[in-house]
Each structure stands twice: as structure tokens, then as C-alpha cells.
Amino acid sequence: MRRAHEVEFKIYGDDLQFVEIQLDPEETIIAEAGAMMYMDQSIEMDTIFGDGSGREANDLKGKLFSAGKRVLTGESLFMTAFTNRGREKKCVSFAAPYPGKVVPFDLMELGGTLICQKDAFLCAAKGISVGIAFQKKIGVGLFGGEGFIMQKLEGDGLAFMHAGGTIIKKDLEPGEMIKLDTGCLVALTRTVNYDIQFASNIKNALFGGEGLVLATLTGPGSVWLQSLPFSRLADRIYAASKAGGGKSKGEGSLLGSVGIGNLFGGND
């Protein structure tokens, strides 16, 4: 018997996805504050303390400690619980905050634990604990892109995460290693060894465009990677905005500096 609620789901969209969760009467799903897109009339929304598992301590001190762990990952002190109070199956949906994919994970099939980047969690069935995982290696904490603290999901039900661009899963054999940009890591099972490797020479570090370090993931286990980390997207937008001086820039020689946006009053 699973301890987490057994919810059903359907993912819509291609590059701007959202997930629709179907809840039986009295079933509950937890989510990050502000992630909800729409919900049926019979869905009741409640703001909660704690890690979302429903098994944390009942006293205020215990709940504050449980919620405080989430603050260390940069998330809100609160989570939101959505419960179906009707007599029939009802729906609630959650949207991704930027272009990318919504990925479902059945924690029972992953050994009950999944480690993920701090802002990847979207929602999960009630009974899943959303906690923290400390990076014990100083090098990983300082240069690994995610700092010393990542999110840890524990339980035996469904959890949903969001990541940018295209998502790929790689299953690593014992001793098999892959190298990747530190920002491209989405999640890994607890058996994968996460470390960093410095650039082989100073020329690559300064002019190679890949930075000073790369992340190394060594099996056995599974890892999930994203093609477009949000930090990379934000850097490109900021660079383009800075180069353009905050003004629209015509891309075609025919339009020149007028631009399509100006022709239709887009900058008014």
C-alpha cells in the first residue's frame, strides 16, 4: 500500500507545458505557492506549513522547523494543498513558470528518493516529503551551480518537476561518468555520485566559454538533464537588453531602425 495519494494526471502542451491532476474525493496534491493554473469548483485550497508530507510534527515548533528547511532552498515558507471535497473526480492544474517541460516521477520506482535542483519542484501527491539535501563536498557546494543545498523528494507517490528546454534521461552503469554544464542538471537518484572537475588548462577556463568547472555524474543510477537552464536564458535576455540600450532594434535591413513593433504602435 502506498502512503502517498495515488493521483492521475495528463500533461498538455509542447514547449509551454502544464499538468492537469485528477483527484478522487478527498485526495490532495501539494504545490509551490503560485503554481496553480485553474481548478474545478469542488477543489478546496489551503495554505500549509511543513514539507507537504502530512507526517510532520503537529506542534507549531515542529512545523516551523519543517517549513524552515524549505527556506534554505530559496522556496517560500508556505506550500498550498488542493483537496477534492466533491463526490466525483475533479481536476486542478499547474503551469510551468518558463518555457520547458513538466516531467513526472514515480518515487516508488526510484527507490523512494530523488535529489533535484532547488527551483525544479512543481507539485506532488500528498505524502511526498519536500526537504533538503546537503552537498558534503566543498567543491561541489562552491562551484556546482546549485550551492550546498538541493531539494530532496522522499516518498512513494508521484511528483512533478519543471525544467527548461528539452529534458533527457540518462541511465548510468556502475562507474560510468558523464560531464555536463553545472546548470544543466535537473535531478539524480541518490546512488549517483555528484562531483565537479576543473578545466584542464587556463586557456579553456578563460576562453572556452564553458567556465572554470564542469559537473561530473558517476553511476550507478539515473540523471535528468535540461537543454536550457533558466540562468542561461536570463543571461541572454539581459545581454540583448543591455546591448540594445533598452530600445527595440529592427532586425531586417528593409525596416531598418523603424521595426515591426514601431509600425504597429507596439512601443506606445
Cα 228 to Cα 32, 164, 210, 233, distances in angstroms: 22, 5, 14, 7
Digit-coded pLDDT (tens) for 47-100? 887 666 665 545 555 555 555 555 555 556 678 999 999 999 999 999 988 888
- Asked if 159 and 121 count as a contact pair (C-beta separation under 8 A), the reply is yes
Residue 169, pLDDT score: 94
- Asked if 128 and 4 count as a contact pair (C-beta separation under 8 A), the reply is yes
Q: What is the mean pLDDT of residues 30-49?
A: 90
Q: How many CA atoms lie within 13 A of 238 on its CB side?
A: 6
Residue with cell 511543513: 50
Residue 257, pLDDT score: 47
Sequence-ordered list of residues with C-beta below 8 angstroms from that of 85, at least 6 positions apart, any chain: 25, 26, 42, 43, 44
> 225 in helix, strand or coil?
strand
CB atoms within 10 A of CB 177: 14
Digit-coded pLDDT (tens) for 127-166? 898 888 766 554 444 554 454 578 889 999 999 999 988 8
Phi, psi for 107 (deg, rounded to 5): -65, -25
CB atoms within 10 A of CB 14: 8
Residue 141, pLDDT score: 46
SS3 content of the chain, % helix, strand, coil (to 5): 20, 40, 40
CB atoms within 10 A of CB 169: 11
Indicate the class that CATH gives domain 8-242.
Answer: alpha beta
Q: Is the pTM of this model over 0.85?
A: no
- Mean pLDDT over each residue of the chain, to the nearest integer: 78
